[in-house]
Every structure is written in C-alpha cells, then in structure tokens.
Chain A
Amino acid sequence: MSKKMTLHLRIWRQPGPNAPGKFVTYTIRDVSPDMSLLELLDVLNEELIKKGEPPVEFDSDCREGICGTCGFLVNGVAHGPKRGRTACQQYLRDFKDGETITLEPFRAKAFPVIKDLVVDRSAFDRIMAAGGYISVNTGSAPDANSIPIPKEIAEQAFDAAVCIGCGACVAACPNASASLFVSAKIAHLALLPQGQPERVRRVLRMVEQMDKEGFGDCSNHGECEAVCPKNISIKHIALMRREYLRALWSL
C-alpha cells in the first residue's frame, strides 16, 4: 500500500453565471495517491454535503479521457500537470504530498462560467453545425470499399479526428482562440475524398462562425498543442489557413 497524502485544494467558487466568484481552500487528508483528481473532488464533495455546505460543481462523464466533458485549469494548466491527458486522467501520484492545488474554470469569453468549475461550451456545437460534416443522407451511401483511401491518408485524417471537443485549447490560448479545435475538424474532412465536395464552404462557414462566437485569433503561441489531451498537432492550424486561403481564391 502506498503512503497516504494530504492535499489542499484552492477552488474557484462561483454560485452562478452573474454572481461574483472567489477562491476557497479546502484540506483533504489521508488520500491514496492512486486516486484520480476527480475522485479527490468526489471525496471533498461528500465531506461538504455532510457538513451542509454546497458541493463543488464540475463536469465529468466517462472519466477515461474520451468524452471531453471534464476540464478546468489545474495550477493554471488546462487539464493538469500530465500532458496528453484530460482532467479525469490526472492522478494524485503526480502531485506532491502537502501541495496546494489550484482549480479554476476554463477562462474565455466564448465559454461563460455557469457555476464553480462548469462552463458553457455550446459555441463548439454551433461551429460544428456551420459545416463540420459531410452531407450524406441516410441510405444514400455507396459500398464502403468503393472509395479506397491510402492508409497514410486515413491515419492522418484520424490524427485530426481524435479531437474530443473539451475546449482546453481555447483555455490555454492567450487569445482564447478555437483554432486547434476548428482546424482538427477541417483537416479530418479535407484529407478524405468524401470531404472534397464541401471543402470550400466548410472552411469558410466554420471560420466565420468561430469569429462570431467571440474566439480570438491564432498568433502561433502553440499553447493549445501543449495542453491538448489528444496531442493534436498545431500543424492542422497551418492546414486550416491554407484551406481558408484556397477557399477565398476559389470564390
């Protein structure tokens, strides 16, 4: 059995979208290093409920790094210290005994805070609605093997398609740009033969919607790539720029 730890959690508490927020510090003793960070929050919430205090609201669902529901800043870093992982995949063994861990919501104009660590990321859905798809009605598809796709191309498309839409890229970007998120979808579909017919419309509309939602511009800081739990490369943003210029020329 590994040694138990004591941790201090300094958490942003904000009762509602328009209410002022503040940091509150809690101490939790005797926890196992094999516990995940979200499980630590579960334990804290149990204690708070028992004491009659409001539990900390935070989003999570799959708790295995695939649904993109969880996410907040851990000591200022989106999702936390271990790179290439979501908040739900951070384990206490990666923190120091006695450490104070600061948790606060993703901060971006386009992601308003709902309560405590919960933010509204519906802007992402609206960007997807603007063009993140291939128009194919159910029932009209040709046989799946009628479009061979070279393995390397399929793999490249896949590397972009793994985006979980968590919003860490936005939270990490000094400009709160959504470029990594948007470019991942554009790259995924632009690389595939099925995506060609709508290539121009897609990039124009998605970029336009991104701007409308109040996300900032990309100025190549690269912070997004560093926090992306799926290690999506910033090279997709370059691809998106090329796609965008190409689209403008083709108009």
Chain B
Amino acid sequence: MALAIKLDSKAPSGPLESRWTRHKDSLKLVSPANKRKYTILVVGTGLAGASAAASLAELGYNVKSFCIHDSPRRAHSIAAQGGINAAKNYRNDGDSVWRLFFDTIKGGDYRARESNVYRLAELSVNIIDQCVAQGVPFAREYGGLLDTRSFGGALVERTFYARGQTGQQLLLGAYSAMMRQVDAGRITLYPRREMLDLVVINGQARGIVCRNLITGELEAYAGDAVVLCTGGYGNIYFHTTYGRSSNATAIWRCHKRGALFANPCFTQIHPTCIPITGTYQSKLTLMSESLRNDGRVWVPKKKGDTRPPTEIPEDERDYFLERKYPTYGNLTPRDIASRAVKAVCDEGRGVGPTGRAVYLDFSDAIREKGIDYIKEQYGNLFEMYQHITGEDPYKVPMRIYPAVHYTMGGLWVDYNLMSTIPGLFVLGEANFSDHGANRLGASALMQGLADGYFIIPYTIGDYFANTTLPKVSTEHSAFKDSLAEVQRFLTRLLSIKGTKTTLEFHRELGMILWDYVGMSRNAQGLQIAIEKIRQLREEFWNDLKVHGDANTLNKNLEMAGRVADFLELAELMAIDALHREESCGAHFREEYQTPEGEALRNDEKFCYVAAWEYTGDLSKPELHKEPLVFEFVKPTVRSYK
C-alpha cells in the first residue's frame, strides 16, 4: 500500500547565509498564553532530547519526557569523549561558518542538504555560548579563555572540549536545564519507560505507547506532537561503541507507522576503538578521535612482524595515514582512516594477538610536549584503555581497530525536522539530516544541541499554529488498538519458548552485518546478507527463548523486542546498500572505487537521499528519492591528500 508521498524538504531558497533567518521570520508563532495548552511528548533525553525538552518547557509548553534509563542524565550522549565543533574562530586560524559548512558537506561526501548544513554551522556558535552560560566547564587556556583542538577532516582548530568527557559535561548541562523545568512544573519525567509504538490519529502523530520497565505495564500518553530523540541504531551490529540500551525500536515502530527511513545503510565505523578480545565481550570502547591530534598511527612495514612495538626501529614502521594523506595525515576523516586500517590488516601487517589492530603511538608527543601535557589532554582516555587492556599506553602504543560508532541514516525529516508523519519530529542521531554519508568528528554533539536548543523551538510552533488538532485522549480507539498490538507482540515473544537466547540471535545478526554490510560491501555479499537476515528472522520467531513474564522488570524481554526490530531494519539496510551502486563516504562498494582504492561517487545517478517507505512487506520497501541540489559547493572528488 504505497502512499502517494511527495518529499518536500521545505528547504528555503535564496542566499545561503540568510536562509535560516528568513525561514524563521516566515514561521508562525503561538501566543505565550496558548503555549501551555499544548502537550509535547519528547522521547529520549540525550543531547537532542534534553535540550529540546528544556527549551520547549522554557517557552511555556507542557512537556512530558520519556527515557529508557533510570535517569535522563544517563543517555548515551554522556559517553561522547572528544569534543564539539563550533565556528567561533577564536583562534584566528581562518575558520568561519562557511568553512565549517564546507568541511561538513565535503566530509559527508556530498550527500547532505546544503540548507541544513549551513544552518548547523551557523547555530554552532550559539551552542557554545549557551553551554558556557549553563556552567559547562570547557577546557580553558591560562588567560581564562576557551581552548580548542583539531578533529578529523578539518584544517582549523574548532573543537571545544571538556577533557575527554565532553558529552558528559554537555549532557549534564542540558539535563540541568531540564531539571530546572521539572522544578517549575513544566516537564514531567517518565524514566524507565520504553516507547513501543506511535499513535497516529487522522494522519497526525498524537501519542505513544510505552512499557513501564519496572512494573511491565503498558501505558498510553496523548499529546499534540511527538518529538523523537532516541539516538542511533548502530547497536544492530552487536559489537559497537554504543550503550547497552541504544536501540532502533522507537524509530522503527514509527517507520512502520508511516515515517520514511532515509539512507539506512550509512553507518559510521570509527577507526580508533579497543579491539575485540573475546566472544563474551559485550561492547567495544572508543578511543576518541582527539587522540589523533598527538597519536601517530602505524604498523610494521614487514608482514607478520611479531616484535614488540618498541623494538621496531623507526625506518621499519609504516605511518600509513601520514604516507597516504600527507595534508590531513592522522586526522583524515573516519571513513577513510577506517578503510586504511582495514587495508593494512588485510595485507597481513596488523598487530596484536589477532592481527586485527594497528598502533596508535604517543611516544613522539610525550617526548616533545611532556607527559603532563598528555595527561591533561587525554588522562581519562589513557586510564580507560589501561583498565580494559591492562596495558599502560604511556609506555607502549595503544592497539586500536575500527568499530561501529554512529548512524548517519535515520528517519527522514524536512528542514523543520518533521518526518513524513505530521506532528512527528525527529532530532539528533535518530534523524538523517546533516551528515550525509559520513559524519565528521565532534559534529554529532553539535547537531543534537542545534536541533534541540535552536531549531525545534521555532519549527514546532509553526506546526501548531498551522494545524487543527482536535482533542484526543488515550480513550481513543487508536490507543486501544496500539496497546493491544504491543501486548500481542510481547506475548508472542514470550510464548515461542525455543532454545536460542536473544543474545545469540543478536550476535549472529551483528556478524552478518559486519561481514557484508560493514566497512566494505559488494552486490553479491549484500544479496547473501539479505538471505541470511531473512533466515535468521524466521529462526528468531520460531526458536527464541526469553525467560519470565511481561509484568515485571525483565531486561531479557526488553532486549528481545529490540533484537526483533533490528532483524527487520537489518534487511532494509542491506537493501539500501545494494541499491546504492556507488561508493560515498562510509558506504564503500568494492565495485566502485578509484585505482587508488578511494570511494567513487556517481553523482549523476545517486545524488539523492534514499527515503524508504514501509509497505507491509519487509522485503519490498518502496524507494522515494529526495534529489540533492548543490548550488553553493560543487561536488568534487573528496581529497585529503
């Protein structure tokens, strides 16, 4: 039942610099007295959700805030380490809004909307102001002013940071703004709730159904709009840098209710993570990109060289990133760095017990800048590395390998951040909006906060002012239907009583995706992946074993529901990857590469956003294309040499 969807990005036209200002001026407003009549359901409390909830409540809206965690402060944004970009040009090193815009568009390999990305760059400056005013303790110089450092894909130092825990400090800032509104009675918190369905009435998003994770009860909430800020779906790969509860469930259920899913195959694999050591391992830990400011990446020149790193002389080392990309060196963007790491390991020059790792070496920086400097910059990361591996990175180089880290794909949204379901807005990593086919480091925090602090407060008002919203309550039959459907889903999971656990299915799915829909892809592999995913899904619904009941805290049941959704989304990712017969950013199709092995885009055929519609048949999604028009930058071959 394909819908007659016409994708209208609502992106303004005219001069780029004034697009957002003109757009804001054209938006309708809701009067202060009327704002409290609107109830907004904000799902998720990461940077996107917390900043949105706080800002909307400050305006006077009545906000209900939901999260899976036991406190809003624990959303996975907390784990972001390295920093946040902003075009402040405090360093006088040639940065500007234009340059941040340009770097982001180029970094995304020309698969993002110019209007959105320019707005993001523009708002980046306000974010830093806002956070400092909240008391976020960014790193400072001796003069008392803010310090910055470099991140990948940029030749300027525009990344603001708070030691190695920038995400934590930014999230605690947004959380505190939120808690102030809780105190003011304008936000009601609903922690330990998992959204399991979206309720659509007369074509408008009017509510959600959640499971209370403590009591197991299903709960319905009605509202005038739903703002989805539920983060990325990268956990689909099993071994990732995400937190345990990161999931695709909220966006996937919205997709099944009519929201288009854009570019699902664009997933970021981060080059510097602590390698896998065993099958029991539950997650991979990131070593921030900021480390590449001072760490040098290398492998031995010789294959199978098993000498300890300190015994390999300088001229027998291959600093392959510096060699291949002299201009950007160790700070080449993530997609390129990850592929380069994979390539040297495929050649047999990888190090460590598994041969799937390269060195990230700080000895030169320690010699030149002193150990205290390194401690101050990266102390907590070095400590984390030591806790996990038992090795001291001040003495021996770190061993690192790429891991799944971020999803550029997500629900399709227009310039107002509204999905194809009116009244359903999607913010942060959950949407697809600004990073094209590859996200630059330190840009996700920026996007989440731009969406929540500075965009949604404007665009949601315009939606309310232009929309008739009949009163609905949870007594409406649509809520009853949704509750019954979710109940059936949970009962079904519990009644299979098979032999394989959720974890086993999840691990198997992750392996399929990593092998065939991972760092490099090809048509044949993708077809195999689709077959395998279908089989695994079938097996899941026949042989799953979940323990216990639905009417109590049951984390195993929660995970089972998430894995059920991953098994569906996985097929869409493979279908999307198969259809995109080009290489761009993180999507590397082996059939399409330059003689040097770099990504080969096909702008003639694929310069569009692939937005998929759920048709009722998981294997036959319908493709809608939003053409990408480049008026201000000319797509060229992305070079970091």
Contacts and interface: CB of A to CB of B under 8 A. Distances in A.
Nearest to B181: A129
A48 B547 contact: yes
Contacts of A52: 547
Interface stretch (A58-66, A101-109, A171-179, A211-219): A58-66
A42 B133 contact: no
Which of A121, A161, A164 has the most chain B CB atoms closer than 10 A to its own CB?
A: A161
Contacts of B547: 48-49, 52-55
Contact of B132 (A15, A32, A130, A194): A194
Interface in B114-161: 126, 128-135, 137-146
B387 interface: yes
A18 interface: no
A67 B76 contact: yes
Contacts of A55: 547-548, 555-556
Interface size band for B: 35 or more
Contacts of A142: 129, 133
Interface string A16-39: 100000000000000110111011
Given A62-B76, A67-B74, A144-B88, A161 B137 contact: yes
Which of B71, B90, B143, B548 has the most chain A CB atoms closer than 10 A to its own CB?
A: B71
Interface in B64-78: 69-74, 76, 78
A134 interface: yes
A61 B70 CA distance: 10
Contacts of A65: 384, 387
A36 B282 CA distance: 9
A68 B177 contact: no
A63 B552 contact: no
Contacts of A61: 69, 74, 76, 243-245
B54 interface: yes
Contact of B189 (A125, A141, A151): A125
A162 interface: yes
Q: Is the interface of A mostly helix, strand, loop or mixed?
A: loop
A128 interface: yes
B76 A165 contact: no
Interface stretch (B10-18, B165-173, B475-483, B515-523): B165-173
Contact of A121 (B51, B70, B141): B70
Interface stretch (A5-13, A85-93, A234-242, A243-251): A85-93
A98 to B, nearest CB: 19
Contacts of A34: 277-278, 390
A43 to B, nearest CB: 6
29 contacts: A35-B280, A36-B282, A49-B547, A50-B545, A55-B556, A61-B74, A66-B165, A91-B388, A115-B553, A120-B70, A122-B71, A125-B189, A129-B183, A133-B177, A134-B135, A136-B133, A137-B58, A138-B54, A141-B133, A144-B128, A145-B88, A147-B132, A148-B145, A150-B140, A151-B141, A151-B142, A157-B135, A158-B169, A195-B135
Given A89-B387, A194-B135, 11 more contacts: A15-B552, A38-B282, A52-B547, A59-B70, A61-B76, A62-B243, A133-B179, A134-B176, A141-B126, A157-B137, A158-B163
